[in-house]
Amino acid sequence: MKLSANTPAPAFRTKDVFGADFDLQAAARSGQKILLSFFRSAGCPVCNTRVAQLMGSVPRWKEQGLMVVAVYESIRENLLGYVQDSTERRRFPFTIIADSERKFYQAYKVETSMGKMMSGFMKGSVLSMAVKGSTFGDVLTKPKQDGTMTRIGADFLIDERGVIHTAYYGAHLGDHLPVDVITNFAATVA
């Protein structure tokens, strides 16, 4: 059963890919709104395109009190090659979590679906996303695909009380919550 709006977001504590502590509920209780996005792997070109779409809005969202958290099925070592530049600086201005054990995917009911994956590939936009994403950024080493190939993305907007405002499960590979919906949520006053 998928999660829905107006229900408490499943709490979790972990370390981000750089080893810093992350506590979802503590972040929400500290007045942060959260965009929690689930991706396949660091080597997924469709996921890379989505991250590129988000990058331009992240600075404004941060000013509005929205924290972005990206969860990948990749192992930490594989993600590090993706999230650091050649001088080992952080490339992304948001929290990135490796969940190769898929604990958080299970808690948030993020699905796998061969049919939805195939449906996504049948759509021309997903193919163009894959082409764009395969050339994304200055990656130290091309990350390998180490996530579940049939994983379908999901996005959750979580309010300052730790309650799910929006639960969005992709209809196909490459389908995520529209950026304007996230922007509107970031702009809301508690």
pLDDT per residue as tens, the chain (190 positions): 999 999 999 999 999 998 999 999 999 888 899 999 999 888 888 888 898 889 889 999 999 999 999 999 999 988 887 777 655 556 778 999 999 999 999 999 999 877 777 776 666 555 455 445 444 444 434 556 787 888 999 999 999 999 999 999 999 888 999 999 999 999 987 6
In a domain, 109, yes or no: yes
- Count up the domains in the chain and report the number: 1
Task: Look up residue 21 and give its amino acid.
Answer: D
What is the per-residue pLDDT for 158? 97
So what's the pLDDT on residue 126? Answer: 54
Residue 121 resides in a domain: yes
Q: What are phi and psi of 38, to 5 degrees?
A: -110, 130
- What residues make up the domain containing 166? 13-187
**Can you tell me which residue has the tokens 């054990």?**
101
- Maximum Cα–Cα distance for the chain, whole Å? 43
Q: Mark out the alpha helices in 3-113 (DSSP H runs).
A: 24-29, 45-55, 58-63, 76-83, 103-107
Task: Find, among 64, 151, 165, 148, the residue nearest to 110 by Cα.
Answer: 151
CATH of the domain at 45: 3.40.30.10
| 129 in a structural domain | yes
> Which pLDDT score is estimated for 141?
44
Is 87 a member of any domain? Answer: yes
Is 33 among the domain residues? yes
Give the CA-trace dihedral at 116, 100, 104, 48, to 10 degrees: -50
- Does some domain include residue 18? yes
- Distances, alpha carbon 151 to alpha carbons 56, 94, 112, 136, 162, in Å: 25, 22, 4, 20, 25
Contact between residue 67 and residue 42 where contact means Cβ atoms under 8 Å apart: no
Per the CB < 8 A criterion, the answer to whether 130 and 45 are in contact is yes
49 lies in some domain: yes
In a domain, 144, yes or no: yes
